[in-house]
């Protein structure tokens, strides 16, 4: 199968214009507002909030409003998870009220704490129930609704094409498919060709997801799946510019605003750190930022001594963290990995 779609071409999703076809995947605890703003600034076509538990949002649990807060970007997309139709509908209304332009329903998360509550990819075990959630969300908001799923629960239940077709009939505007089953979690290689069966089952846009880290892999997943767009997730750890770099490469243009020197990288990471402190407050922010700082160090400064790395990831004083980061990241460029795309 050969897909001639240009990744840099725009895409329409239920009447919402998307500037290109390389998307940032929703990742719990990762794609918060500062991360999404960076990915979009680098050229990602669409960025999605981290997964929001619909029940917690509907009940007004403290802190969940941060996950749906408008980021100021042209398209605000919020992903909801849950298994109760009443909570999904109410959460969708709340998100739309906060300016969400697109609501995504999570039917793909493999985490045990999610599937154990019969949400995420566990919904693929009961398509009638899954459709009741889709109906509830579509009926509660006027913005486009999308669904993210896996190939199925396991190799014996590869029902993504059926779920996608029924979702389209229920009014969903786009589906995203990760090329693994739930039982695979992230093991093995994503099956890009299997996504083609979903594409064949629907007329709405299909987004292919799984194991994409480079422009070549993005082109290959589209060729094998026939999908209309690609979604990139874990490749962004320590590199929020990956999706934008892939779209730029397709257009034959340089990636936007990727740090190219050690000093620029240090400035970039520190700015990201400070933005997280501004969003969450210092007490929470220093903890939530640590995974990002660890990924930046792993990806770009792998030669940093373990005691120095530990000092950065355990300090509670922002001034000390920023000073250590600048020292670690402003060193000999030969010790850093500043490629614009993996």
Catalytic residues: 109
What is the C-alpha separation between 89 and 100, in angstroms, rounded?
14
Enclosing H/E stretch for 105: strand 102-107
**DSSP states along 61-84:** -TTHHHHHS--SSSS-EEEEE-S-
Classify residue 330 as exposed, middle or buried by CB count within 10 Å of its CB (0-12, 13-18, 19+). Answer: middle
What is the C-alpha separation between 301 and 312, in angstroms, rounded?
13
- Euclidean distance between the first and final Cα of the chain, in Å? 25
What is the C-alpha separation between 61 and 83, in angstroms, rounded?
17
Partners of 218 in the β-ladder: none
Q: What Å distances lie between residue 191 and 112, 196, 233, CA to CA?
A: 22, 10, 16
């Amino acid at each position: 199968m050969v897909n001639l779609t240009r990744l840099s071409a725009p895409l329409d999703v239920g009447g919402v214009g998307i500037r290109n076809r390389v998307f940032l995947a929703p990742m719990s605890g990762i794609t918060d507002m500062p991360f999404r703003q960076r990915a979009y600034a680098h050229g990602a076509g669409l960025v999605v909030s981290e997964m929001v538990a619909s029940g917690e949002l509907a009940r007004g649990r403290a802190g969940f409003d941060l996950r749906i807060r408008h980021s100021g970007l042209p398209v605000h997309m919020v992903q909801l998870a849950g298994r109760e139709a009443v909570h999904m509908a109410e959460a969708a209304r709340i998100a739309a009220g906060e300016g969400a332009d697109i609501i995504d329903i999570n039917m793909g998360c493999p985490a045990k704490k999610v599937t154990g509550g019969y949400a995420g990819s566990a919904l693929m075990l009961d398509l009638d129930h899954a459709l009741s959630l889709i109906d509830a969300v579509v009926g509660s908001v006027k913005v486009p609704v999308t669904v993210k799923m896996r190939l199925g629960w396991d190799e014996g239940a590869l029902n993504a094409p059926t779920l996608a077709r029924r979702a389209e009939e229920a009014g969903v505007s786009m589906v995203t498919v990760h090329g693994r089953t739930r039982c695979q979690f992230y093991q093995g290689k994503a099956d890009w060709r299997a996504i083609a069966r979903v594409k064949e089952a629907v007329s709405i846009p299909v987004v292919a997801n799984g194991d994409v880290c480079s422009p070549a892999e993005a082109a290959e997943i589209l060729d094998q799946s026939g999908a209309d767009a690609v979604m990139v997730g874990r490749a962004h750890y320590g590199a929020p510019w990956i999706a934008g770099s892939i779209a730029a490469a397709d257009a034959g243009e340089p990636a936007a605003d990727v740090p190219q020197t050690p000093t620029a990288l240090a400035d970039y990471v520190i700015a990201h750190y400070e933005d997280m402190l501004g969003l969450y407050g210092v007490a929470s922010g220093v903890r939530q930022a640590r995974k990002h700082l660890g990924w930046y160090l792993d990806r770009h400064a792998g030669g940093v001594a373990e005691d120095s790395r530990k000092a950065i990831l355990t300090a509670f004083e922002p001034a000390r963290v920023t000073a250590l980061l600048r020292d670690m990241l402003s060193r000999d460029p030969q010790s850093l990995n500043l490629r614009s795309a993996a």
